[in-house]
């Protein structure tokens, strides 16, 4: 076993792990969400690779150079602007490396920069419970720029499930997904239902935006996403740099609020507007999930970026919107195989963006293109700080258990109460006091442990 800086450390607790392994554990596959996989840029000719997500040093520069992309309307794939490079996900450590510590540089590990720790704590917990990498523990990272139903990602997932099944001696796989990873799996179920039924025993879903993440996603298409604030933000990808990528990402469009969902209160975008400089009248325009498309179109009409000295137009992409609408149909058609147990953990008790407002009555917007350079104001609902609880728990499946945990989007991946639930459902906790193996849905709330939120959560 290796420590943070690659030093070999004594292997503690080996007897306990062997004892647990003797229980013949079923394999576990961890599936990440958007932003939750290491991405490398690989030179198509030389094979040389450079880590481009996540990285701290030179983050903005390398992101622009290698990750900025365009959507190919003929294939449905997102392709890097640099034709000499392609984005790949490392498969090291049976897929776990890509979803463990998102900046895998030695100094990030030595400095213990926990902001880039993703599945790290959960992997450690599972290893302590007796899971062995490559035999009963696997990871699945993927190019999260792409659609959740793109062929390559779904094919890779099928291969991963088959590999885990065979490596464990023919035992069915228990999947633990986070955030958008749940949408990927839902697409897989819809399109490869028989394969899912063949290889999967249980699916434990954490913080999935089943019906979208209204405030975060609407705003990401208009102003981008900023993951780190304060002094640290100077070393990370900027909000504007991220914005130019997200406009061309089908995965983002696929998480727009579902207009057909029966929201407690329909999410909207509000814009305080003054029609012209000469007209002093100020009004509040309100756009529902269907009407907001016209806002996206007008606000992004003249959006462009400069790459290698050339200007590239990046307006709102209607081809991606159509693709995403078809994805929504695939998501809605998903039927969970009766042989698979489904468990849903979602976050609560944190303000989660729902409505977004740009401008104000005293400082209105004249031209809608100004929206893209305006600081948003949110109206919040209950959730994990990113995904509203009503979206995360609206899975539409016959769940074995549906549990609310008071934690934030990313912190759910290291929450002790979540770990307790995982051990119970995976059958590795001999001291479980509550059985959750029945077919009756359990809606549970679990008391909080104070958490300090340092960064904007990844979906």
CA pair distance 52, 420, nearest whole angstrom? 34
- For position 235, what pLDDT does the model report? 59
Q: What is the DSSP string of 22-47?
A: TT-PPPEEEE--TT-S-EEEEETTT-
Q: Does 457 map to a domain?
A: no
> Which residue has 């690779």 as its token pair?
49
> Is 155 noted as a catalytic residue in this protein?
no
Burial of 119 (0-12, 13-18, 19+ CB in 10 A): buried
- The SS3 call for residue 324 is helix
Instruction: Determine contact, residues 176/316, Cβ cutoff 8 Å.
Output: no
Q: Does 439 map to a domain?
A: no
> Would the pLDDT of 86 be above 60?
yes
| Model confidence band, residue 54 (pLDDT cutoffs 50, 70, 90) | confident
**DSSP designation for 248:** T
pLDDT for 60-84, tens place per residue? 999 999 999 999 999 999 999 999 9
CA pair distance 137, 319, nearest whole angstrom? 38
What mean pLDDT do residues 187-202 have? 98
Q: Could you tell me the pTM of the whole model?
A: 0.89
CA pair distance 289, 285, nearest whole angstrom? 13
- The SS3 call for residue 457 is coil
- For position 103, what pLDDT does the model report? 72
Strands 310-313 and 304-307: antiparallel
**143, 384, 395, 415: which is the annotated catalytic residue?**
384
Strands 283-287 and 377-383: unpaired
- For residue 114, what are the CA distances in angstroms to 53, 119, 177, 304, 385? 15, 11, 20, 34, 18
> Would the pLDDT of 198 be above 60?
yes
Q: Does 155 map to a domain?
A: yes
> Which residue has 């998480």 as its token pair?
255
**32, 37, 69, 179: which is the annotated catalytic residue?**
179
| 137 phi, psi to nearest 5 deg | -140, 125
> Would the pLDDT of 439 be above 50?
no
CA pair distance 409, 392, nearest whole angstrom? 11
What mean pLDDT do residues 313-337 have? 98
| Model confidence band, residue 49 (pLDDT cutoffs 50, 70, 90) | very high
**97, 120, 178, 409: which is the annotated catalytic residue?**
409
Q: Does 199 map to a domain?
A: yes
- 18, containing H or E segment: helix 14-21
User: Could you give the number of structural domains in the chain?
Assistant: 1
- 69, containing H or E segment: strand 69-71
- For position 437, what pLDDT does the model report? 36
pLDDT for 335-354, tens place per residue? 999 999 999 999 999 999 99
How many degrees, rounded to 5, is the angle at CA 9 between CA 109 and CA 422?
70
Strand runs labelled E in 309-422: 310-313, 341-347, 350-358, 377-383, 401-405
> Is 409 noted as a catalytic residue in this protein?
yes
What mean pLDDT do residues 247-262 have? 98
> Would the pLDDT of 53 be above 70?
yes
Q: Does 131 map to a domain?
A: yes
Instruction: Determine contact, residues 254/327, Cβ cutoff 8 Å.
Output: yes
Q: Which domain holds residue 267?
A: 28-426
> Is 373 noted as a catalytic residue in this protein?
no
Name 200's bridge partners: 173
- For position 279, what pLDDT does the model report? 72
CATH number at residue 250: 3.40.50.1820
- The SS3 call for residue 434 is coil
Q: Does 124 map to a domain?
A: yes
| 127 phi, psi to nearest 5 deg | -65, -40
């Amino acid at each position: 076993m290796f420590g943070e800086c690659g030093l070999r450390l004594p292997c503690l607790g080996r007897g306990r792990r062997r004892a647990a392994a003797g229980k013949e554990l079923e394999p576990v596959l961890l599936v990440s969400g958007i932003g939750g996989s290491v991405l490398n840029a690989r030179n198509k000719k030389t094979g040389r690779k450079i880590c481009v997500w996540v990285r701290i040093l030179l983050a903005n520069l390398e992101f622009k150079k290698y990750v900025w992309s365009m959507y190919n309307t003929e294939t449905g794939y997102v392709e890097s602007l640099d034709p000499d490079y392609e984005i790949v996900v490392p498969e090291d450590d049976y897929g776990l490396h890509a979803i463990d510590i998102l900046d895998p540089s030695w100094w990030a590990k030595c400095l213990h920069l926990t902001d880039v720790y993703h599945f790290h704590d959960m992997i450690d917990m599972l290893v302590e419970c007796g899971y062995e990498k490559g035999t009963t523990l696997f990871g699945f990272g993927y190019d999260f720029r792409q659609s959740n139903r793109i062929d390559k990602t779904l094919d890779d997932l099928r291969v991963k499930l088959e590999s885990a099944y065979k490596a464990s001696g023919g035992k069915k796989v228990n999947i633990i997904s986070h955030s958008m990873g749940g949408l990927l799996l839902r697409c897989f179920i819809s399109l490869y239902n028989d394969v899912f039924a063949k290889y999967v025993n249980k699916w434990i879903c954490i913080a999935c935006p089943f019906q979208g993440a209204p405030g975060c996603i609407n705003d990401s298409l208009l102003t981008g996403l900023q993951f780190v604030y304060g002094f640290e933000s100077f070393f990370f990808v900027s909000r504007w740099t991220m914005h130019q990528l997200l406009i061309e990402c089908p995965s983002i469009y696929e998480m727009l609020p579902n207009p057909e969902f029966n929201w407690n209160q329909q999410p909207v975008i509000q814009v305080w507007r003054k029609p012209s400089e000469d007209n002093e009248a100020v009004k509040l325009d309100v756009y529902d999930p269907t009407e907001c498309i016209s806002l996206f179109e007008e606000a992004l009409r003249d959006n462009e970026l400069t790459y290698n000295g050339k200007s590239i137009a990046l307006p709102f992409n209607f081809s991606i919107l159509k693709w995403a609408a078809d994805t929504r149909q695939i998501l809605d058609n998903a039927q969970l195989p009766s042989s698979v147990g489904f468990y849903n953990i979602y976050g609560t008790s944190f303000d989660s963006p729902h409505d977004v407002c740009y401008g104000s009555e005293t400082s209105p917007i004249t031209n809608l293109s100004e929206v893209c350079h305006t600081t948003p104001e949110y109206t919040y609902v209950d959730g994990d700080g990113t995904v509203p609880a009503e979206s995360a728990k609206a899975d539409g499946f016959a769940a074995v258990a549906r549990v609310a945990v008071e934690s934030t989007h990313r912190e759910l991946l290291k929450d002790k109460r979540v770990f307790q639930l995982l051990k119970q459902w995976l059958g590795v906790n001999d001291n479980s006091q509550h059985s959750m193996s029945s077919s009756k849905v359990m809606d549970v709330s679990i008391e909080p442990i104070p958490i300090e939120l340092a960064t904007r959560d990844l979906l």
